[in-house]
Structure 1
Amino acid sequence: MDSPTQTPAEEMPQNRVLLVLSEAADRDSITEILLPESFSLEHASSPAEAQAIHPHFQPDLVILDLPNDATSITDFLGELGSDSLTKRATVIVVLAVDQAAPALVIGEAEIVDFMRRPFRTTEVLARVRNQIAHRRLQLQHTALISQRDTTLVARDRFMGMAAHDLRNPLASIRGLSELLRDGAVGSLTSDQRELVESINEASESMHALLNEMLDFATIEAGKFKFEPAPHDLVNLIDRSLHPANIEAAKKSTRLLFLAPKHPPLALIDAAKIRQVLENLLSNAVKYSPPGSTITVEFHAKAHHCGFAIKDQGPGIPAGEHEQLFRDFGRLSVRPTGGESSTGLGLAICQRIVNAHGGTIEAENLAQGGCEFRVTLPLAP
């Protein structure tokens, strides 16, 4: 079985070299050097003749000299550059011993080296072998990128399908646990009620996980859409505080919103920014110790506005800042109430804010805790 890092055989260099040399003596000299080395060779005496040979021979390397007809070589090099990366030949230009190297940049053709007459066996072999080896590595790199992209697409598709298919049975679990909790089938003992509450809380956590997986899969598949319009960001913050307050109350945590009296409008997709707000507020509650205060501040300047959420939690551990917005990135600190975390929430927030042309940053506060600061464009 082939190694997964191999480039498919049909895309690998076959050591095909096209000699586009106007002098028969030059063609004979290089042929004599390369033929014993198992190179497959084709010859052309002009760029025009090479254009007829190139499509079916598909060389890995072209060795050419510079004819007086500048148009013909421009056309030929342009043809080489128009090929796909896996079929594009590299080019070595032959120069006279005292000829200056020209500045040749024709389309995407890769003129990688120069070789001077008179030809020396060791030099010709070294330059040709080097370029063939370089091209082999280039194609392997291209194949690895293609494999990676294919794998990522499959992963995101699987995540989306799995999350979507799990939502219905999860909704049933949540609904049935709520019926039991509310006494629809009879009263429960304290132990039974505690178990039902645990089932309900677990289903809520699972629901949040599935939503994040679906959001992530949608964004990664390039299907993320948002519709920015003028919105009252302060009002949106105020409404986002309600679900956060419910969770905060369980830990005796206080949410304080410092709202301005006459805020400007922000140019945002309200549903998407509310998702960012609720995620950041939920994180602040998760990582804050019981009885602490979480402060939300609105800020505005000439061309942008936004909000900052400051908590009194452990902050970002040293050396872990780069993990914050990474896909599935998790810090060494853990939620203070045993809450679950997928490692996707902040990555999704960053993509949403970036799509608005805004920024999201995080830093530790001097007095302890952490601040997440989001900046968004003002409405015109």
Structure 2
Amino acid sequence: MDSSLFELHLPTLTVVVCLVLITAAALMTLVGLTQRVYRGFWWWTTAQWLTTLSPVCLLLRDLSPWMLPLSALLSLQWPLMMLAGLRRFHARTRFPMPGWADPVLPLLGTAAYAAVWARDASDMAARVAVFSLFNVAGYLYAMWHVQAIPGWRLSPYLKAVRLFLIGGAVLQAPRLVTAMQNWGIPLSDPQHIQQPAVLLGLVVAVMVSVYMCLLLTYERTEQELRESHRQLRELADIDMLTQVPTRRHFNEIAGAALRLSRPESAVVLRIDIDHLRQLNDLHGHAAGDEALKLVATHARALLGERDVIGRIGGDQFVALLPDMALQDALHLARRLVRTVAQAREARGLPGLSLSFGMVSVREGETLAAALTRAEQALKASQHDEGRQSRPCRDSMSL
């Protein structure tokens, strides 16, 4: 095919490329202005706009001979500006090279391109060879740094970025080889190593990069949403003061544990800190909080792996003790009193007392029914003067 046909349509192709690149850069800008984005996003957006100016300089090359080196610089900056965005997007990563080293490659490439162009403007193969060499180096340099990001193998989008950068270097390789072979040789048809391939490759690179930037932003948003969901779930499941399950979560896990227990082999133990309100009034809420944390901490330490404890009220805890008899549960309650008393004295906290209500879960009885009976036993322990003689109810002072 006659090369004049390519020359005739090359300006049209360049205009089309400009329009596509402007659309892509505008899309990035719109997302940045209307959606939540993260550090580094605007570096990626800037990279797209600067890349858009590269074919614009080609269109304006008749205005100044320096438009060609400027076009080369604007094209060579792309992988390094994208890397600058990744540095900020993954700010905690220790990259192999410092950030100030990133501009070295495109600046050296532009200087070499300008030197070759100034020495012999007609040696197009030399210019293309220099441009391709530094373009390949930029892609590989950026890929090297992507591999330094912790967990990149777990991120499909970072793996896609790495693959894209490798592909960009590989696709430039044949053009580099062809240009090197023709270095210093006048070309009858220079277009096969110069602009059409560059422009089309530029369009593909930018469109893919825009897609990947948006995917990386989406991945980060998805990660934050999962973490927020986990934290909300934790807030709903765990009492933040005492670090034991809330009433709802206790009912879930205790119900499951009870279904796995042998009939009439589990004990429900209710624990109440007596007169917590008076303790708050006399010594402040900090003292009351310390009392709650003290009881919860030592109760968790005494319970076994299968035992479940939760905070079900302001001053009340409940524990499910699978495969335990009432006498053993009573012994555990007394051990709790002793350990809390020792810790309270060591910390110089005000005196307090604990009341217990415990029942053995009957065969076929639900957790809710057992909890109700344990609450009744607790109330009886707080009002019955003869509670010390009853194994299912006890109250002890510290």
Q: Structure 2-normalised TM-score?
A: 0.23
Q: Which structure has the highest helix share of the two?
A: 2
* Higher relative contact order (Cα pairs below 8 Å, separated by 6+ residues): 2
Larger radius of gyration: 2
Q: Which structure has the highest strand share of the two?
A: 1
Q: Structure 1-normalised TM-score?
A: 0.24
